[in-house]
Chain A
């Protein structure tokens, strides 16, 4: 992926001798080789291996002979109720975290874009969650939600076991997800806001547009490319979330927070069905690509 994205455009001068071009190309490949090898070895290789595994009955055991089974894993996956419930939970999680993250981050970005006192400090503070690894965030929030010693229960005066309650566990982790992902969304939106020309607002003011109209008709359309980019990245990031939820709930209670990636992990490393888990990973990758493709395509069409 990276390799194709960063590959420089081939120099094509119409009058150059054909031999020169091929030599240049060869040199370019030679120079790129050191960068390509790790990509092939550590990204493309495992990826292809994983895709291959998805069509076998591979198990993480010592005395099992792996054989090719074609689409058997996919058939089994599509008929498994726990896959669909995990998929549903994954979608609820990814969509709600992405949307809430976007709304909250947009608010924060607009605020930080105003000429406030201590704006510099506030901007730095807003980025703090970004500096924390997901496992640390998970541990920290587990303390917040702790049924006896947690700060949340003592603030509200309740005795709720947030992460163990069947109906509250998912909302509880969604809050953590929003909190975790806000900084990068905020920073990107803030950068976008600062790129909007001031003249547009001045013109709007002259025409007597209210604050709300200026936001709706100037800020949002101007921000559009940034919004499309950050929400799609956030969506991919969120649906692939693993560490945070693994630390918070391990998928419990009773599978109520079992995101697809947790499901795949359990299948592979707890129940040892490596082939099945690979198919699950592959299926999720296809779903993400499809959703993203559709979304980006629609956005592009509307902008045109």
Chain B
């Protein structure tokens, strides 16, 4: 009896173990004649962009019967949580769409493949070094590697109501001669009349926007000395913070209703003429172009300039998982997917700026329609956002910077408190990552 029950127990355990591991390594060895299968996690979400992505995948699958790509739809909202789980469980897709701030952490943790020696020369030379810098990180063992191919970039512009802009008689800025922050604030003041505000700052997620704009005065927010990164909030960092705060509470030229809203939320009020200017990423032009009521005229203005016109650049990227069994095939697919003509299609679909120089020369990227000329011209001001290289930035952003900046823009705390909390609480967070 004892032996019998022991046998039964062993059988059950073996069965359960077999079930548990069945899903894992099944597809590892495929005969040479069978096509290689690659999963491509895409985060495209705008209708045109999803269509462009799927069309390119179809094109590739038709031309390459031996390397079949499966399109997997993901979402920006939870992609990093999803990837952590998939990486840990060993089920990550081969080709991963993400953005450069997220890559730093995954690269350090060893989940992403260093593409340095795999990149085809043509792709490498078509994308400028400034863009490659946004994806070059420490791979966790001290050496720098390239952990993604940057393909779409976002810059900050000002979308303006043409009628209100012209009525205020201010100088209209151009890509070569943008407004200074002083001129911008002055213009906002002039446009504040008859119940309408000059500008609206939707600051539900204030961190990336503030940090990217802060670079116009050289505000980096982080400094690295002797291999240790700390937060810094000096005069350069305070400049843009104070100017936005002034527009809200001193000049009263910014619409307070928009403050708690997400980037696209104030658009209905914008169409109604409740405010004249909306500083936003270039992608927002898509919604304005599609949703604005008939007869609503709008223009795209370059972002304001401080001591420089530089803005922090964040790129969307394609990476390859370290554990991918078909890394070379995945690289071939990426090289096709991100060649000049295809990047132009993707950029058009997402209303963002291509990193590829041949794509940026595409006539569709330089037309005056929908402000493409201003948007594309702003790409030259993009430099690597310093926070990209900071390990632990995500936690700093969520736990410290987001609430602090939200409270500051809501006029609940002073700028000195902002500086103190960003630094004190922030350094505590960063310390966890530097042990």
Q: Which residues of A contact B (CB under 8 A)?
A: 23, 26-27, 29-30, 33-34, 37-38, 41, 59-64, 82, 147-148, 159, 161, 164-166, 252-255, 266, 269-273
Contacts and interface: CB of A to CB of B under 8 A. Distances in A.
A147 B81 contact: no
A266 B81 CA distance: 8
Interface in B212-262: 257, 260-261
B88 interface: yes
Nearest to B77: A250
Nearest to B82: A269
Nearest to B407: A254
A62 B268 CA distance: 46
A270 B260 contact: no
Given A61-B109, A164-B260, A253-B260, 7 more contacts: A27-B1, A30-B4, A30-B5, A33-B12, A253-B406, A270-B398, A273-B432
Contacts of A254: 402-403, 406-407
A29 B392 CA distance: 51
Given A164-B204, A269-B85, A62 B110 contact: yes
A172 B382 CA distance: 41
Contact of A82 (B110, B111, B399): B399
18 contacts: A26-B5, A29-B5, A33-B8, A33-B12, A37-B13, A59-B109, A61-B109, A61-B110, A62-B109, A63-B110, A64-B109, A82-B399, A161-B260, A166-B406, A166-B410, A255-B399, A270-B81, A272-B84
A33 B16 CA distance: 13
Given A164-B260, A165-B260, A255-B403, A269 B81 contact: yes
B265 interface: yes
Report whether over half of chain B's contact residues are helix, strand or loop; otherwise say mixed.
helix
A63 B398 contact: no
A297 B105 CA distance: 48
Contacts of B399: 82, 255
A252 B402 CA distance: 10
Interface string B371-403: 000000000000000000000101100110011
Given A37-B12, A164-B260, A254-B406, A270 B110 contact: no
Interface string B119-159: 00000000000000000000011000000000000000000
B168 interface: no
A218 B285 CA distance: 68
Interface string B402-427: 11001100100000000000000000
A148 B268 contact: yes
B272 to A, nearest CB: 12
Contacts of A252: 402
A60 B88 contact: yes
A271 B395 contact: yes
Nearest to A23: B1
A161 B398 contact: no
B47 interface: no
B12 A62 contact: no
A109 B127 CA distance: 68
B394 A270 contact: yes
A62 B90 CA distance: 10
Nearest to A64: B109
Contacts of B410: 166
Interface string B261-279: 1000100100000000000
Interface in B16-65: 16
B84 A30 contact: no
Interface size class of B (residues with CB under 8 A): 35 or more
Contacts of A148: 265, 268
B75 interface: no
B287 to A, nearest CB: 14
B291 to A, nearest CB: 13
A161 B2 CA distance: 67
A37 B16 contact: yes
A33 B85 contact: no
A63 B432 CA distance: 16
Contacts of B398: 266, 270
Contact of B5 (A33, A41, A64, A159): A33
B322 interface: yes
Contacts of B8: 30, 33
Contacts of B85: 269
B72 interface: no
A293 B2 CA distance: 40
B4 to A, nearest CB: 8
Contacts of A30: 4-5, 8
Contacts of B336: none
A86 B110 CA distance: 31
Contacts of A41: 16
Contacts of B296: none
A272 B106 CA distance: 10
B175 interface: no
A64 B4 CA distance: 43
Nearest to B410: A166
Contacts of B5: 26, 29-30, 33
A134 B130 CA distance: 45
A147 B265 CA distance: 9
A172 B108 CA distance: 39
Contacts of B141: 63
A115 B259 CA distance: 52
Nearest to A38: B16
A296 B322 CA distance: 52
A153 B406 CA distance: 23
A161 B258 CA distance: 10
A62 B395 CA distance: 19
Contacts of B71: none
A226 B402 CA distance: 45
B411 to A, nearest CB: 12
A269 B84 contact: yes
A59 B432 CA distance: 12
Contacts of B84: 60, 269-270, 272
Nearest to A161: B260
A245 B402 CA distance: 19
A288 B204 CA distance: 34
Contacts of B88: 60
